[in-house]
A and B are shown apart, each in its own frame.
Chain A
Amino acid sequence: VQLVESGGGVVQPGRSLRLSCAASGFTFSHHGMHWVRQAPGKGLEWVAMIWYDGSSQYYADSVRGRFSISRDNAKDTLYLELNSLRAEDTAVYHCAGGVNGTSAFDLWGQGTMVTVSS
């Protein structure tokens, strides 16, 4: 049972990036999924959530209108499209999900680093 993120890197302000999160070991299509980020030396910040079937999405105020969460249940993959990137979006981006019925965040990936810099 694991989540593996990819797609991070260094990107200029104003540009876009797409992150992926590959799920394995559980029935991905049955669970809501989240993105949570952590800026260097800072705390956890919830970013976005998508329902198990992709029918609803929710966003933190800091990213609403710029980021887009989606999923492909046929590929067991979660995505985060990051647009109009700012320096303050620099962070490790974790995908997370509620797989065991205890919490919405009981399974975490190790994260992928996004650095926004000119």
Chain B
Amino acid sequence: SFDLTQPPSVSVSPGQTARITCSGDSLPKEYVYWFQQKPGQAPLLVIYKDTERPAGVPERFSASTSGTIVTLTITGAQAEDEADYYCQSGGSGGLHVFGPGTKVTVL
């Protein structure tokens, strides 16, 4: 198995930029995916294959990669972006892993 690391929390003012990192030794070899989860709801995919944004996800969500670190960026954060964010990787060999999650607070 392999581990992913995320900061427990990130705070951002409305309209400002939030950056959430995810690190892991396997990341240069595996795609990374990002999920948003609001209280009482199922997770929602916001980024796939490192940097791609699914249809319907606002353009303020983007991602980048640099070696063993990937970064989810919310540009112009809005109140509705307050949620937990999880990175996820794996798949080769059938095994998957989620990061521990980052709570994003917009205040």
List the interface of chain A (C-beta within 8 A of B).
Answer: 34, 36, 43-46, 49, 56, 58, 60-61, 94, 100, 102-106, 108-111
Residues of B within 8 A of A (CB): 1, 33, 35, 37, 42-45, 48-49, 52, 54, 84, 86, 88, 90-91, 93-101
B96, A34: Cβ atoms closer than 8 Å? yes
| Given A44-B35, A58-B94, A102-B49, A108:B1 Cβ within 8 A | no
* Distance (whole angstroms) from the CB of A93 to the closest CB of chain B: 12
Q: Is the CB of B43 within 8 A of A44?
A: yes
Q: List 24 A-B contacts (CB under 8 A).
A: A34-B96, A43-B99, A44-B35, A44-B43, A49-B96, A58-B93, A58-B95, A60-B1, A94-B42, A94-B43, A102-B49, A102-B52, A103-B33, A103-B49, A104-B33, A105-B33, A105-B45, A106-B45, A106-B48, A106-B54, A108-B43, A108-B44, A109-B42, A111-B42
CA distance A108 to B35 in the complex (A): 11
B100 near A43 with CB under 8 A, answer yes
- Given A61-B1, A102-B54, A105-B33, residue A46 in contact with residue B97 (CB < 8 A): yes
Nearest chain A CB to B94's CB is how many angstroms away? 3
B33 with A44: CB separation less than 8 A: no
